[in-house]
Chains A and B, each alone.
Chain A
Amino acid sequence: DSGVTQTPKHLITATGQRVTLRCSPRSGDLSVYWYQQSLDQGLQFLIQYYNGEERAKGNILERFSAQQFPDLHSELNLSSLELGDSALYFCASSFRTSGRANEQFFGPGTRLTVL
């Protein structure tokens, strides 16, 4: 158990809909990262937040957005869903964003199925 929690575990929805995925980082971790894993794309970095502020963006679509709240939990919002958005979405957290002791700890993931 990494200490990172994600809800829900599974989500099934229809095209065009909007969903919100939630992540609670490990206690004390300030940084949260979101990743998408689909069969044809592998693990892709989406976005990073540090202490409530956006720190870096990866391959995140404009239909997707995220935020980190004052209690440090994070939400990933996916809108106008398409079939190709079906994937595993992982959240990870770390204490720091640089230096040596900043390994990321991953949650169990949310499996999104768009029908």
Chain B
Amino acid sequence: DAKTTQPPSMDCAEGRAANLPCNHSTISGNEYVYWYRQIHSQGPQYIIHGLKNNETNEMASLIITEDRKSSTLILPHATLRDTAVYYCIVRVNTGNQFYFGTGTSLTVIP
């Protein structure tokens, strides 16, 4: 499975967009990029995933570069409740096992 690299921590002002980067330079053509977040010690929460095209849902947008070697998760209007550890995961199309890295600890500041 492709390894991901994320900054260990980031801050974001409440109401502003939070842009969380992820590098996955060894990603293969059939590997999806998934984003999850974990608030305190709760179970990880699914946010969004994509293969090649940019994706948007009610929670966030996912921007994947054309060469697929990196992606950015965008929370358009961060709130205090978005403070969490965000994990970027690259998953092979078959098997569906997730290998979590260390993630980015996002702190939303009032």
Residues of A within 8 A of B (CB): 2, 4, 31, 33, 35, 37, 42-45, 48, 55-56, 58, 88, 90, 92, 94, 96-100, 102-109, 111
Q: Which residues of B contact A35 (CB under 8 A)?
A: 100
CA distance A96 to B57 in the complex (A): 21
CA distance A88 to B102 in the complex (A): 16
CA distance A99 to B96 in the complex (A): 9
Q: In the bound complex, do residue A90 and residue B99 qualify as a contact, i.e. CB atoms below 8 Å apart?
A: no
Q: In the bound complex, do residue B46 and residue A104 qualify as a contact, i.e. CB atoms below 8 Å apart?
A: yes
A interface, over-half SS: strand
CA distance A29 to B99 in the complex (A): 20
Q: In the bound complex, do residue A43 and residue B96 qualify as a contact, i.e. CB atoms below 8 Å apart?
A: no
Instruction: Give chain B's interface residue range (CB within 8 Å of chain A).
Output: 20 to 34
CA distance A103 to B8 in the complex (A): 24
Q: Which residues of B contact A56 (CB under 8 A)?
A: 95, 97
Asked whether any CB of chain A lies closer than 8 Å to the CB of B110, the reply is: no
Contacts A96-B96, A108-B43 known; list 5 others, CB within 8 Å. A42-B100, A90-B43, A97-B96, A100-B51, A108-B42
Q: Which residues of A contact B100 (CB under 8 A)?
A: 35, 42-45
Contact of B43 among A94, A97, A109 (CB under 8 A): A109
In order of increasing CB-CB distance, the 6 nearest A-B pairs are A106-B43, A43-B100, A97-B96, A103-B46, A98-B94, A106-B44
Q: In the bound complex, do residue B45 and residue A106 qualify as a contact, i.e. CB atoms below 8 Å apart?
A: yes
Q: How far is the CB of B64 from chain A (nearest CB, A)?
A: 14
Q: Which residues of A contact B96 (CB under 8 A)?
A: 31, 33, 48, 94, 96-98, 102, 104
Q: Which residues of A contact B103 (CB under 8 A)?
A: 42
- Please, which residue of chain B has its CB at the minimum distance from the CB of A43? B100
CA distance A40 to B99 in the complex (A): 15
Q: Which residues of B contact A108 (CB under 8 A)?
A: 42-43
Contact of A99 among B44, B87, B93 (CB under 8 A): B93
- Please, which residue of chain A has its CB at the minimum distance from the CB of B47? A103
Q: Which residues of A contact B95 (CB under 8 A)?
A: 48, 55-56, 97-98
